[in-house]
Amino acid sequence: MNAVRDTWLVTRHNVRIVLRQKAGIVFGVLQPMLYLALFGPLFATIGTWETLVPGLLAQVGLFSAGLSGVGIVFDARSGVLERLRVTPARRTALLLGRVLGSSLTVLIQSVILIAAGYAFGLRAPLPGVLAGLALMTLLGVGLAALSNAIALVMDPDAFAPIVSTAVIPLVLLSGAFLPMSMAPAWLDAISRLTPFRHVVEAIRDLFAGHYATWTVATGVAVTAVLAVACVAVGTRIFSRENA
Amino acid sequence: MIKTSGLAKTFKGGVEAVRSIDLTVRAGEIVGFLGPNGAGKTTTMRMLTTLLRPTAGTAVIAGHDLVTDPQGVRRRIGYVSQGGGVGPSAPVGEEIELHARLYGMGAAEARERVAGTLERLGLTALAARPGGALSGGQRRRFDLAFGLVHRPSLLFLDEPTTGLDPQSRANLWGHIRRLRDEDGLTVFLSTHYLDEADTLADRLVVIDHGTVVAEGTPAELKGGAGTLDDAFLAITGRSLREDGEAAEPGAPPGGPHGDPGPPDGQADDVPAAGGALARSAGQAAAAGKRGAR
């Protein structure tokens, strides 16, 4: 069987399922909007919308991707996953198709968030915005693959609280809310060790129209390595028997 | 169609779910796979359908080696698991079309195949509904449709009628029998309903403590014992009725007879909620036995 074809088929199927869940999309969009409306004006007194919006994008992406494994638990419980595992479809296709389908929700939320950002005062060049979105999507797909695989081997009741707790420090240390340049030296030092800071700073550079910078290069490299590693580990766990 | 030799599965932690299974199933047979809770039925099923890797032994399924060519096996078999595989939210017709396409069918071929399969099982009118809006019997027929849509030569059914009302059970039995008679489908089904084994299967294989303890036609197994339940009692030392009662909620998942099931927390053969169903089947069998005397 052709793995690319299978991935596409499973993706399309999941996109249909995702698009039917309108409440999920609406509330997923609503949350960053609240940040934009109620935190944005406050932030704008010390920073720019070009700094804030990438941070909100990262926040939405990291939480959605981190928790995307919740859905696969339902597939496992309803027997859908096992049924698909007996078909000749590649395991990677079953996992990636699911992940790509759910990543579409995040992409829709991100686009709406950026559009609303323009209404508030965001002035970012289109190529930079598209590049930033691409970077965030790639990272999201990687993390979601990992999340899906971990959800299958973890106690389902513990999964959501543990993952959402784990994502909070990563989002805070990425400087998504306030840039880490404002942080005390020790916090700044810790933050440099976390991957998402580099991604957020790269997206901020892209939104500012600075494309050929070390920050962008570092962010792209970190994203690529992280995405590939997460998909590899995720596929490995997912392909294990009993997973 | 199935030929296994010394097939075994020991889970991490040393739990010997299946010790050694030697099986032969010929093309066109309906073979019933019987055993008490925790005997290793589901573990064996999951090995034969490529979901679990055996830790020892060999098996050739539908002409393909189970260990070296699981993809080949997957292409030729259908599998209906105990819990089924109908998702709650997507229209079942859409799910089954995806399922068919994952066997390599093109869009037009898949649509045609799905339409034919659904029509045959009397499901055409229900295809637009999400799985959550179907009755238990309807869902079970869709499970059968998933298992059949790619025209396998061998179908595995794990406790296909558990939880169904008598009418739905009879309906499903009719479909299974027709598939064998008209298409020459080979069927390997596990059950712990003795009436199901008696009426549906050409041949029975009884498993206990992870190994085959008896096999033969229902008539051969009954022998002088009278009923299949008596024969079962004579072979395994326990009746399915006791077994059902032992599977009350709160009892260990694998039943009280030693085998605790796989260490991942899944009950091997019967989910906790199945206890009452198993008991009702047992009571039905017991009532039948009393009536015969």
Q: Is B43 on the interface with A (CB under 8 A)?
A: no
At residue B190, the 3 state secondary structure works out as: strand
Count other C-beta atoms under 10 Å from residue B230's C-beta: 17
Summarised one tens digit per residue, pLDDT across range B160-209 is: 888 888 888 888 899 899 999 998 999 999 988 888 888 899 999 999 98
d(CA B182, CA B231): 32
B205–chain A nearest CA distance, Å? 24
Nearest residue in B to A87, CA atom = B74
A91 interfacial to chain B (CB closer than 8 Å):
no
- CA nearest B90 in A: which residue? A17
Calpha distance B39→B31 (Å, rounded):
17
A21 contact residues in B (CB cutoff 8 A): 89
Residue B116: is it exposed, middle or buried by C-beta count within 10 angstroms (0-12/13-18/19+)? middle
Question: What pLDDT does residue B283 have?
Answer: 40
**Alpha-carbon span A215 to A135, nearest angstrom:** 13
* Contact assignment for A16 to B50 by CB distance below 8 Å: no
Mean pLDDT, residues B219-243: 72
Q: The whole model's pTM is what? A: 0.82
Angle, in degrees to the nearest 10, between helices A91-120 and A49-67: 150
Closest B-chain CA to A19: B90
pLDDT value at residue B272: 36
| pLDDT for the residue A242 | 54
**Burial class of A141 by CB neighbour count within 10 A (0 to 12, 13 to 18, 19+):** buried
Structure tokens that stand for B217 in this block: 């036609």
Query: Residue B165: helix, strand or coil by DSSP?
Result: coil
A83 touches chain B (CB under 8 A): yes
Q: Rounded to an integer, what distance in angstroms lies between the CA atom of residue B169 and that of residue B255?
A: 25
The runs of H, that is alpha helices, within A68-155 are 69-78, 80-85, 91-120, 126-153
DSSP of B216-275: E-HHHHHGGG-SHHHHHHHHHSS-HHHHHHHT-TTS-TT-SSS----TTS--SS--GGGH
- The model's confidence at residue B148, banded by pLDDT at 50, 70 and 90, is very high
Compare CB distances from B74 to A17, A82, A88 and report the shortest one's residue.
A88
What's the distance, CA A17 to chain centroid? 19
Closest residue of B to A81, CA-based? Answer: B85
Q: Give yes or no for residue B259 having a pLDDT over 50.
A: no
Task: Judge whether residue B290 has pLDDT over 70.
Answer: no
pLDDT at B274: 34
pLDDT band at B49 (very low <50, low <70, confident <90, very high): very high
Are B53 and A241 within 8 A, CB to CB? yes
A33 vs B76, residue with greater confidence: B76
Range of the domain at A199: 3-239
Structural tokens at position A43: 């932030």
Q: Does B262 touch chain A (CB under 8 A)?
A: yes
Using pLDDT thresholds of 50, 70 and 90, give the confidence band for residue B222: confident
Burial (CB < 10 A; 0-12, 13-18, 19+), residue B223, is exposed
Q: What are phi and psi of B10, to 5 degrees?
A: -115, 120
Higher pLDDT, B232 or B241: B232
Mean pLDDT over B91-120 rounds to 94
Q: Each residue's pLDDT tens digit in chain A (243 positions)?
A: 588 999 999 999 999 988 888 887 788 788 888 989 999 999 989 889 999 999 999 998 998 899 888 888 888 888 999 999 999 998 889 999 999 988 988 898 899 999 999 999 999 999 999 999 999 999 999 999 999 999 988 888 889 899 989 999 999 999 988 888 889 999 999 999 999 999 999 999 999 999 999 999 999 999 999 999 999 999 999 888 654
Topology annotation, domain B2-292: Rossmann fold (3.40.50)
Chain B residues inside the 8 Å CB shell of A17: 89-90
**Structural domain count, chain A:** 1
pLDDT confidence of residue A119: 92
State the ipTM, two decimals: 0.85
Residue B292 has pLDDT above 50, yes or no: no
Distance CA B8, CA B45 (A): 12
φ/ψ of residue B14, rounded to 5: 90, 5
pLDDT band, very low/low/confident/very high, at B225 (cuts 50, 70, 90): low
What separation, in Å, do the N-terminal and C-terminal C-alpha atoms of chain B show? 40
| Residues contacting residue A87 through CB under 8 Å, at least 6 positions apart | B74, B99, B102, B103
Cβ-defined contact of B85 to A6 (cutoff 8 Å): no
Task: Report pLDDT for A77.
Answer: 87
Pairing mode of beta strands B154-158, B56-61: unpaired
Radius of gyration of chain A (CA): 18
CB–CB contact A10 B98 (8 Å): yes
Band (B241; pLDDT cuts 50, 70, 90): low
**Structure confidence at residue B268 (pLDDT):** 41
Q: Among all chains, which residue has been given the structure tokens 């209404």?
A: A119
Determine the pLDDT at residue B289: 40
